[in-house]
């Protein structure tokens, strides 16, 4: 088991390294002129332009620039802008000259918002979504199953942003049944943290529950038709134990794969939710930096998102091996 | 002849309320005449050995309503098994042998199955029993050994975990006590190094060892009836013999009744005390193993025996029973076997294609019964079939 974890960890780290190189390469492949962008269209003298280029070390060889960037992540580095020396502490993901702040600092500010949002979302889809799907699988073919499945299909056919906007408009503004969205740090005021996130959690969570219910139903129907489920019933176990112990353990394996990727994707930015419910998370940061051409921030978010994706895949692998002993051999 | 006293008038209970037709015992008996119904009931209640049976199945009917029509998987099956005896149910795929045994275990989906007739276990009626009561019987008084231990054991739980679970469903004991019992059972079924094996997963077991573990699991609650559904089909031949020996020895030790479902007449010869041959959901021949194997009285049984390849006739072609089993959606009129029966034209008139033969004693009185219109069964078997069997 330890060997298995170590091997997966090594492969995860090498993927992060490759991502780092590719992200950095993007910076150069992209048809942009970072110095020009920072300098701006007006009042940009050749002198100022050159100074920025020099500060960014854009005149140095690509390999050296990469080495500096990579070294910054593990050791920190300093930047000079307009004569002022800025320190960028570990892990330094670059410096946003547009905002005059280190990228890491900006990410640190935004990440907790997105993590809070996604954590609540994960709880909802894994409990309600999976439970509804399992229940439908247990009662497959009945009227309840069909009603449930067709209603989830209808709901998931409506674009998410329409649903979220409508709920935001009707249930939080026109008829304020649900609290308005907003972010207060958990450490500052747990109650405000909870109420501010409740509506986005419910909207994002319940909408995705329709997908999760369908996935879980599918894999549970398959699991419940296995021979070992018949064996479990022949032992004299109750239907509940058979479904939620013997069935769910096998039925969850495909759902966990989707869950891992979905969570990684949401952490990279639940853009609609953050926009609609006024949460300043990673998604909003990405939008802002894209419209500003703030390349260091874009690079930083891409790198963090891909690291999260790799980490989630690693966790999914570990979860697999805990659920299915046969995976440990592979 | 032993007829349990409690079955008067209440031996038929529907699980599902009937809508269109009402195939209860009264209606079915009226169609066939009262004499037949009485005789068949007595047939079921007794056993070819004459001992008091533990399991009594009477006039069991299992139907599955589907989109294409009603599948009649079992059509009025009666048999009985006393403790310490083994009944082999033989037949092709789709003859209803597994379906009828699943009905004994109450494993059919209640919403999709119509079961009528009577299944009594030690005198207690199982049909119509609520799920919660049936749960207490399953795995305790009756247990099942399945065909393929690879797919019948849960791949994600250790063997030990599955055994302990099976014991604790029916015994309120601590995990430690259950573990001790599980280790005992693993040892009993001949699994070496039970302590290490206890913590292993099914994929770490060989096929034979897995089936041993499956048997250990099914015997852990000391059941009075074990239903073994083709327990050796998924195993190779040497392991088959070991597993059959094991079942035989354990039966001597536990004294349980065994219902062995198989299509392998070699297994029947080795294991069975009684044999019931099924075709298209009906019993076509029933008697002691000696009677049925040595003096079969039904062309279908002859066909089964003839289809066994012999070593001495290695160069000969195999002799299959020509044709296919009938669709259970639409059984042929008369004898279900008539479209495949090579002796059909020996019966006068259209009897075979119009009238279902009754299950009658082959020599007028004994416990060996068969369902066939042929009058000269004995001479046909002795002059034509027996010489071909080698």
Site from A141, A226, A234 to mutate, B interface, most B CB atoms within 10 angstroms: A234
Q: Residues in chain A, how many?
A: 330
Residues of B in contact with A235 (CB under 8 A): 138-139, 143, 165-166, 169, 217
Mean residue pLDDT across chain B = 84
Site from A1, A224, A236, A243 to mutate, B interface, most B CB atoms within 10 angstroms: A236
Condensed to tens digits (0 to 9), the pLDDT of residues A124-158 reads 999 999 999 999 998 888 898 999 889 888 988 89
**Contacts with B, A 220-279, CB within 8 Å:** 226-228, 230-239, 246, 249-250
Q: Which of the two residues, A300 and B11, has the higher pLDDT score?
A: A300
Q: Is the Cβ pair B151, A226 closer than 8 Å?
A: yes
Alpha helices by DSSP H, listed for A1-55, are 2-29, 34-39, 46-55
Residues of A in contact with B217 (CB under 8 A): 235
Q: Residue A1 above 90 pLDDT?
A: no
Q: What pLDDT, on a 0 to 100 scale, did the predictor assign at position A235? A: 93
Q: Which of the two residues, A110 and B34, has the higher pLDDT score?
A: A110
Condensed to tens digits (0 to 9), the pLDDT of residues B102-111 reads 999 999 888 8
Average pLDDT over residues B175-181: 95
Confidence of residue A48 (pLDDT cuts 50, 70, 90): confident
**Alpha-carbon span B53 to B216, nearest angstrom:** 25
Confidence of residue A330 (pLDDT cuts 50, 70, 90): low
Q: Residue B32 above 70 pLDDT?
A: no
Q: Residue A61 above 50 pLDDT?
A: yes
Q: What pLDDT, on a 0 to 100 scale, did the predictor assign at position B93? A: 86
Least-confidence region, from A58-62, A276-280, B7-11, B236-240? B7-11
Q: Which of the two residues, B315 and B21, has the higher pLDDT score?
A: B315
C-alpha radius of gyration, chain A, whole number: 24
Q: Residue A81 above 70 pLDDT?
A: no
Confidence of residue A83 (pLDDT cuts 50, 70, 90): low
Condensed to tens digits (0 to 9), the pLDDT of residues B248-272 reads 998 998 899 999 999 888 889 989 9
Measured between alpha carbons, how far is residue B357 from residues A158, A175, B30, B280, B372 in Å?
A: 63, 76, 16, 14, 5
Question: What residues form DSSP beta bridges with B283?
Answer: B278
Q: Residue B40 above 60 pLDDT?
A: no
- Count CB neighbours of B366 within 10 A: 12
Q: Is the Cβ pair B107, A234 closer than 8 Å?
A: yes
Q: Which of B54, B124, B75 is nearest to B281 (CA)?
A: B75
Average pLDDT over residues B132-147: 92
Q: Is the Cβ pair A235, B131 closer than 8 Å?
A: no
Residues of B in contact with A142 (CB under 8 A): 111
**Contacts with A, B 156-175, CB within 8 Å:** 156-157, 165-166, 169-170
Average pLDDT over residues B214-243: 90
Q: What pLDDT, on a 0 to 100 scale, did the predictor assign at position B35? A: 43
Residues of B in contact with A325 (CB under 8 A): 155-156, 201, 203
Give the number of C-alpha atoms closer than 13 A to the C-alpha of residue B83, restricted to the C-beta side. 12
Confidence of residue A236 (pLDDT cuts 50, 70, 90): very high
Measure A97 CA to nearest chain B CA, in Å. 54
Measured between alpha carbons, how far is residue B226 from residues A39, A227, A303, B47 in Å?
A: 85, 18, 61, 17
Confidence of residue A329 (pLDDT cuts 50, 70, 90): low
Q: pTM of the entire structure?
A: 0.79
Q: Residue A3 above 80 pLDDT?
A: yes
Q: Which of B219, B299, B229 is nearest to B264 (CA)?
A: B229
Confidence of residue B9 (pLDDT cuts 50, 70, 90): very low
Site from A137, A224, A228, A256 to mutate, B interface, most B CB atoms within 10 angstroms: A228
Confidence of residue B13 (pLDDT cuts 50, 70, 90): very low
Measure A238 CA to nearest chain B CA, in Å. 7
Q: Residue B20 above 50 pLDDT?
A: no
Q: What pLDDT, on a 0 to 100 scale, did the predictor assign at position B31? A: 42
How many contacts (CB atoms, under 8 Å) link A and B? 67
Residues of A in contact with B154 (CB under 8 A): 228, 231-232, 246, 249-250
Confidence of residue B313 (pLDDT cuts 50, 70, 90): low
Q: Residue B27 above 80 pLDDT?
A: no
- Judge residue A256's burial from the number of C-beta atoms within 10 Å of its C-beta, 0-12 exposed, 13-18 middle, 19 or more buried: middle
Q: What pLDDT, on a 0 to 100 scale, did the predictor assign at position B158? A: 95
Q: What pLDDT, on a 0 to 100 scale, did the predictor assign at position B141? A: 93
Contact, B22 vs B12, CB < 8 A? no
User: Predicted ipTM?
Assistant: 0.80
Q: What pLDDT, on a 0 to 100 scale, did the predictor assign at position A44? A: 77
Q: Residue A17 above 80 pLDDT?
A: yes
Q: Residue A31 above 70 pLDDT?
A: no
Q: Which of the two residues, A295 and B81, has the higher pLDDT score?
A: B81
Residues of B in contact with A326 (CB under 8 A): 155, 201, 203
Asked if B148 reaches chain A (Cβ–Cβ under 8 Å), the answer is yes
Q: Is the Cβ pair B107, A237 closer than 8 Å?
A: no
Asked if B239 reaches chain A (Cβ–Cβ under 8 Å), the answer is no
Q: Is the Cβ pair A235, B166 closer than 8 Å?
A: yes
Q: What pLDDT, on a 0 to 100 scale, did the predictor assign at position A53? A: 78
Q: What pLDDT, on a 0 to 100 scale, did the predictor assign at position B17? A: 41
Average pLDDT over residues A49-62: 78
Q: Residue B172 above 90 pLDDT?
A: yes
Site from B106, B154, B160 to mutate, A interface, most A CB atoms within 10 angstroms: B154
């Amino acid at each position: 088991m330890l060997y298995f974890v170590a091997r997966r960890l090594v492969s995860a780290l090498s993927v992060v390294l490759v991502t780092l190189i590719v992200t950095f390469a993007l910076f150069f492949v992209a048809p942009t002129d970072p110095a020009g962008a920072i300098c701006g269209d007006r009042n940009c003298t050749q002198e100022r332009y050159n100074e920025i280029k020099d500060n960014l070390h854009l005149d140095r060889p690509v390999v050296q620039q990469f080495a500096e960037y990579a070294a910054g992540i593990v050791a920190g580095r300093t930047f000079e802008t307009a004569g002022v020396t800025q320190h960028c502490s570990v892990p330094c993901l670059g410096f946003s000259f547009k905002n005059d702040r280190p990228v890491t600092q900006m990410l640190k500010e935004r990440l907790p918002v997105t993590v809070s949002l996604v954590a609540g979302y994960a709880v909802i889809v894994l409990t309600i979504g999976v439970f509804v799907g399992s229940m439908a699988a247990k009662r497959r073919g009945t009227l309840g199953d069909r009603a449930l499945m067709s209603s989830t299909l209808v709901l998931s056919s409506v674009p998410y942003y329409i649903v979220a906007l409508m709920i935001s408009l009707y249930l939080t503004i026109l008829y304020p049944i649900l609290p308005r969205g907003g972010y207060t740090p958990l450490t500052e005021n747990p109650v405000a943290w909870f109420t501010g996130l409740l509506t986005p959690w419910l909207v994002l969570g319940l909408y995705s529950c329709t997908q999760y219910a369908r996935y879980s139903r599918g894999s549970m129907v398959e699991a419940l038709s296995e021979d070992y489920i018949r064996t479990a019933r022949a032992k004299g176990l109750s239907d509940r134990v058979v479904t939620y112990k013997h069935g769910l353990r096998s039925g969850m394996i495909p759902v966990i794969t989707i869950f891992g990727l979905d969570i990684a994707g949401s952490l990279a930015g639940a853009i609609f939710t953050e926009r609609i419910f006024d949460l300043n998370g990673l998604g909003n940061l990405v939008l802002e930096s894209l419209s500003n051409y703030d390349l260091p921030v874009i690079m930083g978010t891409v790198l963090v998102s891909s690291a999260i994706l790799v980490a989630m895949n690693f966790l999914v692998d570990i979860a697999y091996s805990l659920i299915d002993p046969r995976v440990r051999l592979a | 002849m032993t007829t349990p006293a409690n079955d008067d008038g209440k031996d038929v209970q529907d699980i599902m309320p009937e809508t269109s037709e009402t195939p209860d015992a009264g209606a079915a008996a009226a169609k066939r005449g009262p004499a037949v119904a009485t005789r068949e009931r007595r047939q079921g209640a007794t056993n070819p050995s004459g001992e008091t049976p533990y399991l009594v199945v009477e006039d069991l009917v299992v139907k599955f309503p589907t989109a294409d029509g009603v599948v009649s998987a079992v059509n009025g099956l009666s048999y009985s098994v006393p403790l310490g005896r083994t009944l082999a149910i033989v037949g092709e795929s789709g003859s209803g042998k597994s379906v009828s045994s699943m009905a004994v275990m109450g494993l059919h989906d209640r919403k999709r199955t119509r079961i009528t007739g009577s299944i009594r276990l030690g005198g207690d009626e199982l049909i119509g029993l609520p799920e919660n009561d049936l749960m207490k019987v399953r795995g305790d008084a009756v247990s099942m050994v399945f065909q393929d231990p690879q797919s019948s054991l849960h791949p994600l739980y250790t063997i030990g975990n599955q055994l302990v679970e099976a014991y604790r469903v029916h015994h309120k004991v601590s995990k430690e006590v259950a573990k001790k019992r599980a280790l005992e059972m693993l040892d009993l079924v001949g699994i070496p190094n039970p302590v290490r094996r206890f913590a292993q997963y099914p994929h770490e077991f060989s096929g034979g060892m897995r089936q041993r573990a499956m048997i250990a699991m099914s015997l852990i609650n000391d059941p009075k009836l074990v239903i073994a559904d083709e327990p050796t089909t998924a195993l190779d031949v040497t392991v088959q013999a070991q597993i059959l020996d094991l079942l035989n020895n354990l039966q001597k030790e536990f004294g349980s009744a065994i219902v062995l479902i198989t299509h392998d007449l070699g297994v029947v010869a080795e294991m069975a005390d009684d044999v019931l041959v099924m075709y298209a959901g009906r019993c076509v021949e029933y008697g002691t193993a000696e009677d049925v194997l040595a003096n079969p009285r039904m062309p279908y049984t002859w066909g089964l025996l003839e289809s066994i390849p012999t070593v001495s006739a290695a160069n000969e072609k195999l002799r299959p029973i020509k044709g296919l089993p009938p669709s259970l959606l639409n059984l042929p009129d008369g004898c279900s076997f008539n479209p495949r029966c090579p002796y059909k034209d020996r019966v006068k008139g259209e009897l075979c294609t119009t009238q279902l033969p009754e299950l009658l004693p082959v020599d007028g009185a004994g416990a060996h019964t068969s369902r066939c219109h042929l009058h000269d069964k004995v001479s046909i078997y002795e002059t034509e079939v027996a010489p071909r069997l080698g």
